Amino acid sequence: MFDATTILAYKGKNKAVIGGDGQVTFGQTVLKNNATKIRTLHNGEVLAGFAGSTADAFNLFDMFEEYLAQRKGELIKAVIDFSKAWRKDKVLRRLEAMMIVLNHEHIFILTGNGDVVEPEDGEIAAIGSGGSYAISAARALKKHTSLDEETLVKESLAIAADLCIYTNHNIKTLSLG
């Protein structure tokens, strides 16, 4: 995991939601508190979040969006092609970065090692330094409450922010209704 951020995604019954905190750190210094690490892609049909350096995020988001366009929004095909290209690129594969991408049907975690992981439950995924805290909170809240998808993501990220020094409470979310 990276000492960089926390991204949490939840593909629920009514909505697909992704959220992230806003903290950008350099070593033990907070450089920015209100960064946006999540995006909508392919005409608002896909959500994506990134853990890693900011410059890398822009490059990988743009690259993934190109694959989505080439595959006419078919997330599974775009994810596979993107992961192959990311792994084969000598510069990009060395990035310490991860992405989560999702739509109404699928949710994936992607890495430069060529990993394409669909969570076992097919519903909740998290990356970044606070990812373990966020996913634990999300699973507990899902099991023991009736929170809507967006509230569940926000509350889970807030819990992660209470525990992870690289995660703050400046939480942003995006959703596909």
Just list the catalytic residues. 5
Residue 110 and residue 84 in contact, taking contact as beta carbons nearer than 8 Å: no
Q: Which amino acid is at 142?
A: K
Angle CA 15–23–85, to nearest 5: 65
CA distances from 89 to 6, 61, 119, 128, 139 (A): 26, 15, 25, 22, 35
